[in-house]
């Protein structure tokens, strides 16, 4: 697997990417509100089974964010055969593209678990696999949300892809997190939405 964060265009600014897994959730609009206030684009890796026409998918696209796939039902793909992995990922692409009308370019395997067959299936489906370089651990920190900010800010580096989730605790600290990152001199970006060959 290539380091997807090397795809960030080089510039004089230090840049990072915010990514949100496991949506679309009921916290999506609050997250989008904060991103809009702070004028930041992000990437959303969605479980396609959670996406339906009444979700705020159009707002996500209209405000310059990227919708990517995180599979259909969020299984551990390494426990599936190649054919099962291929079908799972393909089904997720079809669902997202059917609703949004936009091609899916990026893929992140559930739990960050993958094997060579996962990567082959993604490649055959013309997807770029994107992992992360910095985990916020937000899914573990419902009762200690301030630690989410600390986990990220103390481990920042140029080109980092930050793993977040569409969780309540994450939406509650997102503004503080973004402003703390900005204070460290970082700008925000997304991967180009034109990697599909």
Question: Catalytic site residues?
Answer: 21, 165
Decide if 88 contacts 75 (C-beta within 8 A). yes
**CA of 5: how far to CAs of 35, 89, 100, 116, 142, in Å?**
20, 22, 25, 20, 28
Q: Please name the residue ranges forming H helices in 25-81.
A: 28-37, 57-62
The C-alpha atoms of residue 180 and residue 14 are separated, in whole angstroms, by: 14
Residues near 94 by Cβ (< 8 Å), separated by ≥ 6?
none
| Strand 128-129, strand 106-107: pairing | parallel
């Amino acid at each position: 697997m290539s380091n997807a964060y090397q795809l960030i265009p080089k510039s004089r600014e230090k840049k990072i990417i915010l990514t949100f897994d496991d949506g679309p959730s009921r916290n999506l609009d609050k997250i989008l509100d904060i991103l809009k206030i702070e004028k930041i684009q992000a990437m959303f890796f969605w479980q396609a089974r959670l996406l339906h026409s009444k979700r705020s998918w159009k707002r996500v696209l209209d405000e310059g964010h990227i919708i990517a796939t995180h599979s259909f039902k969020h299984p551990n793909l390494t426990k599936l055969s190649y054919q099962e992995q291929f079908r799972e990922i393909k089904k997720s692409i079809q669902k997202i593209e059917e609703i949004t009308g936009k091609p899916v370019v990026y893929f992140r395997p559930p739990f960050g678990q993958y094997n060579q067959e996962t990567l082959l299936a993604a490649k055959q489906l013309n997807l770029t696999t994107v992992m992360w370089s910095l985990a916020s651990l937000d899914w573990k920190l419902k009762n200690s949300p301030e630690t989410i900010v600390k986990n990220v800010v103390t481990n920042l580096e140029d080109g980092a892809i930050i793993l977040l989730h569409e969780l309540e605790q994450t939406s509650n600290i997102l503004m503080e997190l973004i402003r703390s990152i900005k204070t460290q001199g970082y700008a925000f970006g997304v991967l180009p939405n034109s990697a599909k060959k």
